[in-house]
Structure 1
Amino acid sequence: MRIRPATRAELPTLQEIERAAGEPFRALGMAAIADDAPPGTDLLEEFRRAGRAWVATGPGTGDSGGAPVAYLISEPVDAAEHIEQVTVHPRAARHRIGQALIEHTAERAREAGRAALTLTTFANVPWNAPYYARIGFRVLDEAELTPGLRKIRAHEAELGLDRWPRVTMRRELTRDGTTPRTAP
Structure 2
Amino acid sequence: MDLRPARPDELPLLPPVEQASGELFRDFGMPEIADDDPMPLSTLEHLHVWVAADPHPVAWVAVEVVDGAAHVEQISVHPDHARRGLGAALLDHVERWAAARGLDALTLTTFRDIPWNGPYYRRLGFREVEHPSPGLVAIVAAETARGLDPATRVCLRRPVRPGVRAGY
2:93 is equivalent to residue 104 of structure 1? yes
Matched residue, 1:175: 162
* Partner AA of 2:119 in structure 1: P
> 2:45 is paired with a residue of what secondary structure?
helix
Matched residue, 1:54: 50
Matched residue, 1:121: 110
Task: Give unpaired runs (5+ residues) of structure 1.
Answer: 59-65, 179-184
What displacement does 1:46 show? Answer: 1.6
The CA distance in 2 between the partners of 1:122 and 1:80, in whole Å, is 20
- Which of structure 1's runs of 4+ aligned residues deviate more than 6 A? none
- What's the RMSD between the two structures over aligned residues? 1.3
* Cα contact 2:140–2:150 (8 A) shared by 1: no
2:116 is equivalent to residue 134 of structure 1? no
What displacement does 1:164 show? Answer: 6.3
The CA distance in 2 between the partners of 1:86 and 1:112, in whole Å, is 20
Please, which of 68, 73, 88 is the counterpart of residue 77 of structure 2? 88
The CA distance in 2 between the partners of 1:150 and 1:109, in whole Å, is 21
Q: What is the correspondence of 1:60-79 to structure 2 with a 5 Å cutoff? A: 66-79=55-68
* Cα contact 2:18–2:78 (8 A) shared by 1: yes
Query: Identical aligned pairs, as a percentage?
Result: 47
Matched residue, 1:63: none
Q: What is the correspondence of 1:159-170 to structure 2 with a 5 Å cutoff? A: 159-162=146-149, 165-170=152-157
Query: TM-score, structure 2 length as denominator?
Result: 0.94
* Partner AA of 1:137 in structure 2: F
- Higher RCO (C-alpha 8 Å, min separation 6): 2
> 2:149 is paired with a residue of what secondary structure?
helix
